[in-house]
Amino acid sequence: MNQSLVAEHKRLCQQIEEFAQRELNGGETAFCRLKWEKCANFGLLAMCIPEKDGGMSESAMDSLITHYALGYGCMDNGFTFAVNNHLIIAEGIFPRAANAGQCEDYSQGFIDGSLIASYAITEPDHGSDSAGVTMQARLVGNHYVLDGSKLYISNASIADIFVVVARTSDGPSRLNSLSAFIVHKDDIGVEVGKEIKKMGLMGCPMGELVLRGCILPKERLLGSEGGGIMIANLAMEWERTFVFASHLGTMQKIMENCITYVNSRRQFNKTIGSYQLVSSKIVQMGISIEFGMLLMSKIGELRDAGKNTFRESAMFKYHIGEAYAKTSLDALQIFGAYGYSDESGVERQVRDALAARIYSGTSEIQQDILAKLMGIRTDS
Protein backbone atom coordinates (compact mmCIF):
# COMPACT_ATOMS: atom_id res chain seq x y z
CA MET A 1 0.00 0.00 0.00
CA ASN A 2 1.20 3.49 -0.81
CA GLN A 3 1.67 5.46 2.43
CA SER A 4 0.72 8.79 0.82
CA LEU A 5 -2.98 7.84 0.96
CA VAL A 6 -5.19 9.58 3.51
CA ALA A 7 -6.53 7.48 6.39
CA GLU A 8 -9.99 6.96 4.86
CA HIS A 9 -8.53 5.71 1.61
CA LYS A 10 -6.00 3.53 3.43
CA ARG A 11 -8.88 1.72 5.13
CA LEU A 12 -10.72 1.22 1.84
CA CYS A 13 -7.50 0.11 0.18
CA GLN A 14 -6.77 -2.40 2.94
CA GLN A 15 -10.25 -3.92 2.75
CA ILE A 16 -10.00 -4.48 -0.99
CA GLU A 17 -6.41 -5.69 -0.89
CA GLU A 18 -7.29 -8.26 1.78
CA PHE A 19 -10.33 -9.40 -0.19
CA ALA A 20 -8.29 -9.77 -3.38
CA GLN A 21 -5.45 -11.62 -1.68
CA ARG A 22 -7.87 -13.95 0.09
CA GLU A 23 -10.35 -14.65 -2.72
CA LEU A 24 -8.79 -13.87 -6.10
CA ASN A 25 -5.28 -15.32 -6.00
CA GLY A 26 -4.30 -18.84 -6.99
CA GLY A 27 -6.10 -21.28 -9.24
CA GLU A 28 -6.43 -21.22 -13.00
CA THR A 29 -4.90 -18.56 -15.25
CA ALA A 30 -7.91 -18.38 -17.58
CA PHE A 31 -10.95 -16.27 -16.72
CA CYS A 32 -12.69 -17.63 -13.62
CA ARG A 33 -16.44 -17.14 -13.19
CA LEU A 34 -16.24 -18.02 -9.48
CA LYS A 35 -13.85 -15.11 -8.88
CA TRP A 36 -16.27 -12.87 -10.76
CA GLU A 37 -19.12 -13.91 -8.48
CA LYS A 38 -16.96 -13.23 -5.43
CA CYS A 39 -16.28 -9.71 -6.71
CA ALA A 40 -20.01 -9.13 -7.16
CA ASN A 41 -20.84 -10.47 -3.68
CA PHE A 42 -18.16 -8.25 -2.16
CA GLY A 43 -19.70 -5.19 -3.85
CA LEU A 44 -16.75 -4.47 -6.11
CA LEU A 45 -18.96 -4.17 -9.21
CA ALA A 46 -21.29 -1.62 -7.59
CA MET A 47 -18.89 1.03 -6.29
CA CYS A 48 -19.47 3.92 -8.71
CA ILE A 49 -22.93 3.01 -10.01
CA PRO A 50 -25.59 5.51 -8.84
CA GLU A 51 -27.64 4.52 -5.81
CA LYS A 52 -30.87 4.96 -7.77
CA ASP A 53 -29.71 2.10 -10.02
CA GLY A 54 -28.77 -0.14 -7.10
CA GLY A 55 -25.14 0.92 -6.72
CA MET A 56 -23.18 2.55 -3.93
CA SER A 57 -22.70 6.02 -5.49
CA GLU A 58 -19.15 6.21 -4.20
CA SER A 59 -16.95 9.10 -5.33
CA ALA A 60 -14.65 8.95 -8.32
CA MET A 61 -11.70 9.06 -5.92
CA ASP A 62 -13.07 6.07 -4.01
CA SER A 63 -13.47 4.19 -7.27
CA LEU A 64 -9.90 5.02 -8.31
CA ILE A 65 -8.65 3.73 -4.96
CA THR A 66 -10.73 0.58 -5.47
CA HIS A 67 -9.08 -0.05 -8.85
CA TYR A 68 -5.66 0.72 -7.39
CA ALA A 69 -6.18 -1.72 -4.51
CA LEU A 70 -7.46 -4.44 -6.83
CA GLY A 71 -4.31 -4.07 -8.93
CA TYR A 72 -2.19 -4.29 -5.79
CA GLY A 73 -3.93 -7.25 -4.19
CA CYS A 74 -4.87 -9.44 -7.16
CA MET A 75 -1.95 -11.33 -8.71
CA ASP A 76 -4.05 -12.18 -11.77
CA ASN A 77 -3.63 -9.02 -13.86
CA GLY A 78 -5.76 -10.52 -16.61
CA PHE A 79 -8.73 -11.02 -14.31
CA THR A 80 -8.30 -7.47 -12.99
CA PHE A 81 -8.30 -6.26 -16.60
CA ALA A 82 -11.56 -8.15 -17.26
CA VAL A 83 -13.16 -6.42 -14.26
CA ASN A 84 -11.79 -3.07 -15.45
CA ASN A 85 -13.29 -3.53 -18.91
CA HIS A 86 -16.69 -4.47 -17.50
CA LEU A 87 -16.68 -1.37 -15.29
CA ILE A 88 -15.94 0.90 -18.27
CA ILE A 89 -19.51 0.11 -19.31
CA ALA A 90 -21.19 -0.34 -15.92
CA GLU A 91 -19.62 2.61 -14.07
CA GLY A 92 -18.38 4.81 -16.88
CA ILE A 93 -20.76 4.76 -19.83
CA PHE A 94 -24.18 3.69 -18.56
CA PRO A 95 -24.61 6.23 -15.72
CA ARG A 96 -23.74 9.03 -18.17
CA ALA A 97 -25.23 7.92 -21.49
CA ALA A 98 -28.00 5.38 -20.87
CA ASN A 99 -31.61 6.46 -20.37
CA ALA A 100 -33.64 5.49 -17.30
CA GLY A 101 -35.15 2.44 -18.98
CA GLN A 102 -31.77 1.11 -20.07
CA CYS A 103 -30.31 1.61 -16.61
CA GLU A 104 -33.28 -0.26 -15.14
CA ASP A 105 -32.81 -3.12 -17.61
CA TYR A 106 -29.07 -3.64 -17.16
CA SER A 107 -27.59 -2.01 -14.06
CA GLN A 108 -28.69 -4.65 -11.56
CA GLY A 109 -27.18 -7.37 -13.73
CA PHE A 110 -23.93 -5.42 -13.92
CA ILE A 111 -23.90 -5.15 -10.13
CA ASP A 112 -24.80 -8.75 -9.20
CA GLY A 113 -22.43 -10.20 -11.79
CA SER A 114 -25.09 -11.92 -13.89
CA LEU A 115 -24.24 -9.64 -16.84
CA ILE A 116 -20.69 -9.15 -18.05
CA ALA A 117 -20.09 -6.16 -20.30
CA SER A 118 -17.65 -5.49 -23.13
CA TYR A 119 -16.82 -2.36 -25.10
CA ALA A 120 -16.38 -2.92 -28.85
CA ILE A 121 -14.97 -0.17 -31.05
CA THR A 122 -11.66 -1.47 -32.47
CA GLU A 123 -11.77 -2.85 -36.01
CA PRO A 124 -9.21 -4.68 -38.16
CA ASP A 125 -8.25 -1.45 -39.96
CA HIS A 126 -9.12 1.09 -37.25
CA GLY A 127 -7.46 1.02 -33.84
CA SER A 128 -6.33 4.41 -32.58
CA ASP A 129 -8.42 6.12 -35.30
CA SER A 130 -11.71 5.52 -33.50
CA ALA A 131 -13.60 8.01 -35.70
CA GLY A 132 -12.82 5.92 -38.75
CA VAL A 133 -14.86 2.82 -37.87
CA THR A 134 -16.61 1.19 -40.80
CA MET A 135 -19.23 -1.03 -39.12
CA GLN A 136 -22.56 0.13 -40.55
CA ALA A 137 -25.86 0.66 -38.72
CA ARG A 138 -28.88 1.32 -40.95
CA LEU A 139 -32.25 2.44 -39.64
CA VAL A 140 -34.95 0.27 -41.19
CA GLY A 141 -38.40 1.09 -39.85
CA ASN A 142 -38.27 0.68 -36.06
CA HIS A 143 -35.02 -1.26 -36.08
CA TYR A 144 -31.33 -0.77 -36.72
CA VAL A 145 -29.48 -3.33 -38.81
CA LEU A 146 -25.76 -3.63 -38.01
CA ASP A 147 -23.09 -5.16 -40.26
CA GLY A 148 -19.36 -5.36 -39.73
CA SER A 149 -16.72 -6.74 -37.41
CA LYS A 150 -14.78 -5.68 -34.34
CA LEU A 151 -11.37 -7.07 -33.42
CA TYR A 152 -9.21 -7.37 -30.29
CA ILE A 153 -12.25 -7.05 -28.04
CA SER A 154 -11.60 -7.65 -24.35
CA ASN A 155 -14.15 -9.91 -22.58
CA ALA A 156 -15.51 -10.97 -26.00
CA SER A 157 -16.13 -14.65 -25.23
CA ILE A 158 -17.52 -14.07 -21.72
CA ALA A 159 -19.63 -10.96 -22.35
CA ASP A 160 -23.42 -10.94 -22.22
CA ILE A 161 -23.70 -7.30 -23.30
CA PHE A 162 -21.63 -5.33 -25.81
CA VAL A 163 -21.58 -1.59 -26.30
CA VAL A 164 -20.80 -1.32 -30.02
CA VAL A 165 -19.90 1.84 -31.93
CA ALA A 166 -21.06 1.85 -35.57
CA ARG A 167 -21.49 4.32 -38.44
CA THR A 168 -25.04 5.64 -38.86
CA SER A 169 -24.26 8.33 -41.44
CA ASP A 170 -21.93 8.80 -44.39
CA GLY A 171 -22.01 12.58 -44.05
CA PRO A 172 -18.92 14.80 -44.31
CA SER A 173 -18.43 15.04 -40.53
CA ARG A 174 -16.84 11.92 -39.11
CA LEU A 175 -17.52 13.14 -35.59
CA ASN A 176 -21.32 13.16 -36.03
CA SER A 177 -21.51 9.97 -38.06
CA LEU A 178 -21.10 7.41 -35.27
CA SER A 179 -23.62 6.01 -32.80
CA ALA A 180 -23.43 3.51 -29.94
CA PHE A 181 -25.69 0.48 -29.50
CA ILE A 182 -26.41 -2.15 -26.88
CA VAL A 183 -25.94 -5.60 -28.38
CA HIS A 184 -26.77 -8.89 -26.63
CA LYS A 185 -24.65 -11.96 -27.26
CA ASP A 186 -27.76 -13.94 -28.25
CA ASP A 187 -29.15 -11.36 -30.70
CA ILE A 188 -29.75 -12.64 -34.22
CA GLY A 189 -26.68 -12.02 -36.40
CA VAL A 190 -24.17 -11.92 -33.52
CA GLU A 191 -21.13 -14.15 -33.77
CA VAL A 192 -18.24 -14.17 -31.31
CA GLY A 193 -15.07 -15.53 -32.91
CA LYS A 194 -12.58 -17.83 -31.27
CA GLU A 195 -10.39 -16.44 -28.53
CA ILE A 196 -7.27 -14.64 -29.74
CA LYS A 197 -4.10 -16.03 -28.16
CA LYS A 198 -1.95 -13.26 -26.75
CA MET A 199 1.26 -12.56 -24.88
CA GLY A 200 -0.19 -11.82 -21.45
CA LEU A 201 -3.31 -10.89 -19.47
CA MET A 202 -4.49 -14.50 -19.80
CA GLY A 203 -7.37 -14.02 -17.37
CA CYS A 204 -9.10 -11.61 -19.78
CA PRO A 205 -10.18 -13.32 -23.00
CA MET A 206 -9.85 -11.37 -26.25
CA GLY A 207 -11.72 -12.10 -29.44
CA GLU A 208 -13.56 -10.91 -32.53
CA LEU A 209 -17.17 -9.75 -32.65
CA VAL A 210 -18.93 -10.14 -36.01
CA LEU A 211 -22.38 -8.70 -36.73
CA ARG A 212 -24.16 -9.89 -39.89
CA GLY A 213 -27.58 -8.39 -40.37
CA CYS A 214 -27.89 -7.92 -36.60
CA ILE A 215 -31.35 -6.47 -35.97
CA LEU A 216 -31.75 -4.23 -32.92
CA PRO A 217 -34.86 -2.34 -31.76
CA LYS A 218 -34.47 1.44 -31.73
CA GLU A 219 -34.52 1.28 -27.93
CA ARG A 220 -31.04 -0.23 -28.03
CA LEU A 221 -29.53 3.01 -29.29
CA LEU A 222 -27.30 4.26 -26.45
CA GLY A 223 -27.46 8.02 -26.17
CA SER A 224 -28.44 9.96 -29.27
CA GLU A 225 -27.88 9.07 -32.91
CA GLY A 226 -24.64 10.72 -33.93
CA GLY A 227 -23.43 10.74 -30.32
CA GLY A 228 -21.13 7.77 -30.68
CA ILE A 229 -17.91 9.75 -30.63
CA MET A 230 -18.95 11.32 -27.31
CA ILE A 231 -19.45 7.84 -25.86
CA ALA A 232 -16.15 6.70 -27.38
CA ASN A 233 -14.34 9.61 -25.73
CA LEU A 234 -16.10 8.89 -22.45
CA ALA A 235 -15.00 5.24 -22.62
CA MET A 236 -11.43 6.23 -23.44
CA GLU A 237 -11.25 8.78 -20.64
CA TRP A 238 -12.63 6.23 -18.18
CA GLU A 239 -10.26 3.51 -19.40
CA ARG A 240 -7.21 5.75 -19.30
CA THR A 241 -7.83 6.59 -15.65
CA PHE A 242 -9.52 3.69 -13.89
CA VAL A 243 -7.84 0.80 -15.74
CA PHE A 244 -4.46 2.46 -15.28
CA ALA A 245 -5.17 3.06 -11.59
CA SER A 246 -5.09 -0.75 -11.31
CA HIS A 247 -1.73 -0.77 -13.07
CA LEU A 248 -0.46 1.77 -10.55
CA GLY A 249 -1.40 -0.61 -7.74
CA THR A 250 0.41 -3.44 -9.51
CA MET A 251 3.51 -1.25 -9.85
CA GLN A 252 3.44 -0.63 -6.10
CA LYS A 253 3.36 -4.37 -5.43
CA ILE A 254 6.21 -5.05 -7.88
CA MET A 255 8.35 -2.39 -6.19
CA GLU A 256 7.70 -3.81 -2.73
CA ASN A 257 8.62 -7.30 -3.93
CA CYS A 258 11.84 -5.89 -5.37
CA ILE A 259 12.72 -4.20 -2.06
CA THR A 260 12.17 -7.47 -0.17
CA TYR A 261 14.32 -9.35 -2.66
CA VAL A 262 17.29 -6.95 -2.77
CA ASN A 263 17.37 -6.81 1.03
CA SER A 264 17.70 -10.60 1.27
CA ARG A 265 19.63 -11.62 -1.85
CA ARG A 266 23.40 -11.54 -1.30
CA GLN A 267 26.24 -11.45 -3.84
CA PHE A 268 29.93 -10.83 -3.09
CA ASN A 269 29.12 -10.77 0.66
CA LYS A 270 26.65 -7.89 0.27
CA THR A 271 22.93 -7.58 -0.18
CA ILE A 272 22.38 -6.66 -3.82
CA GLY A 273 20.51 -3.56 -2.68
CA SER A 274 23.91 -2.24 -1.59
CA TYR A 275 24.84 -1.78 -5.23
CA GLN A 276 23.78 1.60 -6.54
CA LEU A 277 22.96 0.28 -10.02
CA VAL A 278 20.41 -2.03 -8.39
CA SER A 279 18.97 0.39 -5.84
CA SER A 280 18.64 3.17 -8.40
CA LYS A 281 16.19 1.03 -10.39
CA ILE A 282 13.93 0.78 -7.34
CA VAL A 283 14.29 4.50 -6.63
CA GLN A 284 13.05 5.23 -10.15
CA MET A 285 10.09 2.91 -9.53
CA GLY A 286 9.23 4.87 -6.40
CA ILE A 287 9.43 8.22 -8.19
CA SER A 288 7.19 6.98 -11.00
CA ILE A 289 4.65 5.62 -8.53
CA GLU A 290 4.62 8.81 -6.47
CA PHE A 291 4.01 10.99 -9.53
CA GLY A 292 1.29 8.53 -10.59
CA MET A 293 -0.42 8.80 -7.21
CA LEU A 294 -0.39 12.60 -7.39
CA LEU A 295 -1.89 12.61 -10.87
CA MET A 296 -4.50 10.01 -9.87
CA SER A 297 -5.51 12.17 -6.91
CA LYS A 298 -5.85 15.21 -9.15
CA ILE A 299 -8.05 13.26 -11.58
CA GLY A 300 -10.25 12.07 -8.71
CA GLU A 301 -10.66 15.60 -7.39
CA LEU A 302 -11.51 16.99 -10.83
CA ARG A 303 -14.02 14.22 -11.55
CA ASP A 304 -15.72 14.65 -8.19
CA ALA A 305 -16.00 18.38 -8.95
CA GLY A 306 -17.70 17.54 -12.26
CA LYS A 307 -14.78 18.80 -14.35
CA ASN A 308 -13.30 17.41 -17.55
CA THR A 309 -10.18 15.24 -17.19
CA PHE A 310 -9.38 14.57 -20.86
CA ARG A 311 -5.93 16.18 -20.59
CA GLU A 312 -5.07 14.61 -17.26
CA SER A 313 -6.29 11.19 -18.40
CA ALA A 314 -3.97 11.29 -21.41
CA MET A 315 -1.08 12.26 -19.15
CA PHE A 316 -1.92 9.50 -16.66
CA LYS A 317 -2.24 6.86 -19.37
CA TYR A 318 1.06 7.84 -20.95
CA HIS A 319 2.94 8.05 -17.66
CA ILE A 320 1.61 4.81 -16.17
CA GLY A 321 1.78 2.88 -19.46
CA GLU A 322 5.46 3.70 -19.87
CA ALA A 323 6.36 3.39 -16.18
CA TYR A 324 4.53 0.06 -15.75
CA ALA A 325 6.49 -1.48 -18.63
CA LYS A 326 9.79 -0.12 -17.29
CA THR A 327 9.01 -1.20 -13.73
CA SER A 328 8.31 -4.78 -14.80
CA LEU A 329 11.44 -4.95 -16.98
CA ASP A 330 13.60 -3.52 -14.20
CA ALA A 331 12.13 -6.05 -11.79
CA LEU A 332 13.11 -8.82 -14.20
CA GLN A 333 16.67 -7.47 -14.29
CA ILE A 334 16.80 -7.28 -10.48
CA PHE A 335 15.52 -10.85 -10.00
CA GLY A 336 17.87 -12.14 -12.70
CA ALA A 337 17.62 -15.79 -13.75
CA TYR A 338 14.98 -16.49 -11.11
CA GLY A 339 12.85 -13.66 -12.49
CA TYR A 340 13.05 -15.24 -15.93
CA SER A 341 11.69 -18.51 -14.56
CA ASP A 342 7.98 -19.25 -14.61
CA GLU A 343 7.74 -19.91 -10.88
CA SER A 344 8.85 -16.39 -9.94
CA GLY A 345 5.83 -14.64 -11.47
CA VAL A 346 8.14 -11.81 -12.56
CA GLU A 347 8.21 -12.86 -16.23
CA ARG A 348 4.40 -12.91 -16.22
CA GLN A 349 4.37 -9.33 -14.94
CA VAL A 350 6.51 -8.33 -17.92
CA ARG A 351 4.16 -10.01 -20.38
CA ASP A 352 1.14 -8.39 -18.74
CA ALA A 353 2.69 -4.91 -18.52
CA LEU A 354 3.91 -4.38 -22.08
CA ALA A 355 0.40 -4.13 -23.53
CA ALA A 356 -0.31 -1.05 -21.40
CA ARG A 357 1.71 1.00 -23.90
CA ILE A 358 -0.71 -0.08 -26.64
CA TYR A 359 -4.35 -0.28 -25.51
CA SER A 360 -6.50 2.76 -24.73
CA GLY A 361 -4.55 4.63 -27.40
CA THR A 362 -0.83 4.01 -27.80
CA SER A 363 1.78 6.02 -25.93
CA GLU A 364 2.49 7.84 -29.18
CA ILE A 365 -1.20 8.78 -29.59
CA GLN A 366 -1.25 10.18 -26.03
CA GLN A 367 1.71 12.39 -26.87
CA ASP A 368 -0.05 13.60 -30.02
CA ILE A 369 -3.15 14.44 -27.97
CA LEU A 370 -1.12 16.32 -25.39
CA ALA A 371 0.84 18.20 -28.07
CA LYS A 372 -2.42 19.52 -29.54
CA LEU A 373 -3.76 20.45 -26.09
CA MET A 374 -0.53 22.36 -25.45
CA GLY A 375 -1.11 24.43 -28.58
CA ILE A 376 1.44 22.80 -30.87
CA ARG A 377 0.21 23.16 -34.43
CA THR A 378 0.49 20.38 -36.98
CA ASP A 379 0.49 20.89 -40.75
CA SER A 380 -2.12 18.88 -42.62
Known catalytic residues are: 239
Q: How far from 290 is each of 10, 225, 255, 279, 283, CA to CA, in Å?
A: 15, 42, 12, 17, 11
288, 251 Cβ separation under 8 angstroms: yes
Closest CA to 251 of 199, 278, 291: 291
Residues facing residue 36 across a β-bridge: none
Question: Distance from first CA to last CA of the chain, Å, rounded?
Answer: 47
Closest CA to 60 of 236, 308, 311, 303: 303
Using DSSP, state whether 91 is helix, strand or coil: helix
Closest CA to 235 of 91, 63, 51, 38: 91
Please tell me what DSSP assigns to residue 240: I
Q: Is 113 left (phi over 0), alpha (psi -120 to 50) or beta?
A: left
Residues facing residue 136 across a β-bridge: 147, 167
Pairing of strands 117-120, 161-167: parallel
What's the burial of 302, exposed, middle or buried (CB within 10 Å: 0-12/13-18/19+)? Answer: middle
CA distance 351 to 89: 26
Closest CA to 369 of 246, 241, 237, 247: 237
Residue 313 exposure: Cα atoms within 13 Å on the Cβ side: 21
Beta strands in 104-195 (DSSP E): 117-120, 136-140, 143-154, 161-167, 178-184, 190-192
AA identity, residue 325: A
Which residues are CB-contacts of 170 (< 8 A; sequence separation ≥ 6)? 177
